[in-house]
Structure 1
Amino acid sequence: MLTIYFAAAALSPSIPAASAAVKKYSVSSYGAKPDGKTDSTNAFLTAWNKACSSPSPSTVHVPAGRFYLKNVAFQGPCKTKSIMFRIDGTLVAPSDYSVIAKVGNWILFRHVNGVIVSGGTLDGQGASLWSCKAAGFQNLEFSNSQNVQINGLTSVNSQLFHIMTNGCQNVKVKGVEVTAAGNSPNTDGIHVQSSAGVTILNSRIGTGDDCISIGPGTTNLWIENISCRPGHGISIGSLGKQLHEAGVQNVTVKTITFTGTGLARGSPGGYCSSTPL
C-alpha cells in the first residue's frame, strides 16, 4: 500500500560556518571566456577540482558575462565542507538540444557536502526541444548530497526540470526565480524526490508544468512564500509506479500565491493521512 502523510513539521537547514581563510578560484583563471560561444566546461571543472581538493573553505567564482557550458558534473566528496559557487554572470547551455539532451542533466553536483550556489542565471535554451517532445535535461541537479543551499539563482528555459534534489538531506532553496514559457512541457520549477529536510522559501516560479513537484521518498519538506504563475501549481505526483515505492511524509505549504495556474494530467493516486488545512 502506498501511504502519504502530511503534517506541519520540517527541518531547518544550516551550513557549517567557515573558520579558516577562504580560497578563491575564478573560472576565468583557467580559461573560461565570457563570450557565450567558447566552450568553458573544462575551465569550470578545473576550478571546481581545485576548490574540492583544498582542505580550506573555498569559493568558485563565475564573473560577469555569458559562459557556454556543455554538461558538467561537479563531483564530491571534497576535502572541505564549505564551497561557495558564486555566479555573477550567466551560464548558457548548447542551443542544439541534441548535444546533451540524453545525458539527463546539464549541471550536476553529486556527493557534495556544504555547497552553496549563489546568484547568477542558468539559461538552458530549451525552446528548440519543447516542440519535438524529446527527452531533455535538468538545468541543475543535486544528487546524493547534504547541507546544500541555493540562493538568489535564476533559471530560465530548461529543457526539463529546472532545479532538482535527488537523494539529498538538509537543503535550503531561497530567493530563486524560475521562468519558462507557459506551454513548455515538463519544465517543473523545483522537483524534490528521495530527499529529507528540504526548505523552499521566497521564490517566484512560472513554467509550463508544476511550479513545485514532489516525488517518492520526500520527507520533511517545507514550502513557504512562493509565487506560482503560470504553471500547474504544487503537486505530489507520479507516485505508485513501483510496488514498494517510498511514500511522501511531513509536507508543509504556507503562503502561496497561484495566478493563472491550470490542472495537470492525473497520475497514480495514493492514500493521504493527517492532512490539516
Structure 2
Amino acid sequence: MLKPIVFYGPCQSKMLFHVEGKVVGPKHYWEFGKSGFWILFYKLEKLTILGGTYDAQGSDYWACRKSQSQCSQGTKSRNVVVKGIKSLNPQMFHLAIDHCHQVLLKKLYIEAPTRSPNTDGIHIMSSEGITIAGAVIKTGDDCIAIGPGTKNVHIRGVGSGVKISGVTYRNIHGTSASPIAVKFVCSASRPCTGLQLHNVRLTYHKAIASSVCTHAGGGVSGVVSPRSCFRK
C-alpha cells in the first residue's frame, strides 16, 4: 500500500519512473490526511512515467466525500511523457496536469464506476502544449476536462466521449466557405453547455449565413451574426 508521496524537483538529468506491477492506495480516505493528491510530481523536467497499474481504491471516499485527493498529478513540470499506465478508482481525478508545459499522454487506460463522483479522467489546468494520443477512458465524470488558462491541447485516438463546456468564441469576423457559418454538433449523452458567442460576425458571399446547433446550449453578447441557435 502506498500512502501520499511527492517526487520533488528540480533534477539535473532525465528521469524514468517505471512501474511493472500494481500500486495500491490506502483503502480508507482518512489515511490521506490533508493531502490533495496521491502521487505528485512537482517541478520536474524531462520526466517519463512508464507502465504499471495504479488503484487508488476510492470507493470509501465516494461514500463519504470528505477528502478531495487526486490520483496522479503533475505540477509545474516540463517535457513530461506518461505512457502505458492504467489508472483505477481514484478518489477524484485520475490524472491532473497543473501549470505544466509540453506533456505527452500516450496509451492510457482509465476506469472508475459510472456513479463515482468527480472522477475526471484527465483534468488539465493552466497548462500548455498537452497532447493526448491514444486513451481508453471509462469513468464517472468528465473524460477529459480542460480548465482555464490552458492552451494548445491536441487530442486523438480517445476511446470515449469528450464533453465541451464553458468555451467563449470572441471577436471573430470573416467570410464563411459554406452557407452554414456556425455549426455546433454535440452528442445527446454529453451535450455542449455554457458556450458563449461575443462579437461574432460571419457572412457567406456577402449574404446572410446560417447557424446549426445540435445538443448545444449557451448565450450571446455583443453583435452576433448569423443569429445564435443555442437552446436555452
Structure-2-length-normalised TM-score: 0.73
State the partner residue of 2:12. 79
Whichever residue aligns with residue 52 of structure 2, its letter is: G
- Is 2:166 the counterpart of 1:234? no
Is the 2:164–2:192 contact (alpha carbons within 8 Å) kept by the matching residues of 1?
no
Distance 2:84 2:20 in 1: 11
If you compute each CA radius of gyration, which structure gives the higher value, 1 or 2?
Answer: 2
Quote the RMSD (CA, aligned, Å): 2.8
User: Structure 2 counterpart of 1:198, which letter?
Assistant: I
Q: For residue 160 of structure 1, what is the aligned residue in structure 2?
A: 92
2-structure distance, mates of 1:206, 1:161: 12
Unaligned runs of 5+ in 1: 1-67, 241-246, 248-257
Structure 2: how far apart are the matches of 1:161 and 1:146? 20
Q: Deviations over 1:130-183 (max 9, x none)?
A: 122323211100000000000000000000000010000000000000000000
SS in 2 for 1:131: helix
Does the 8 A contact of 1:209 with 1:264 survive in 2?
A: no
> Larger % of helix: which?
1
Gaps of 5+ in 2: 171-185, 202-211, 213-232
Residue 26 of structure 2 is aligned to residue 94 of structure 1: yes
The percentage of counterpart residues that share the same residue type is: 36
1: CA distance between counterparts of 2:118 and 2:10?
Answer: 31
Q: Secondary structure at the match of 2:93?
A: coil
Tell me, yes or no, if the aligned pair for 1:210 and 1:235 is still in contact at 8 Å. no
Q: Secondary structure at the match of 1:228?
A: coil
Correspondence for 1:137: 69
**1:203 corresponds to 2:132:** no
CA distance in 2, matches of 1:162, 1:270: 29
CA distance in 2, matches of 1:177, 1:106: 18
Q: Which has the higher strand share?
A: 2
1:177 is matched with 109
2: CA distance between counterparts of 1:177 and 1:270?
33
Amino acid across the alignment from 2:147 = G
Asked if the contact 2:93/2:121 (under 8 Å) is kept, the reply is: yes
User: Which structure ranks higher in relative contact order (CA pairs < 8 Å, sequence separation ≥ 6)?
Assistant: 1
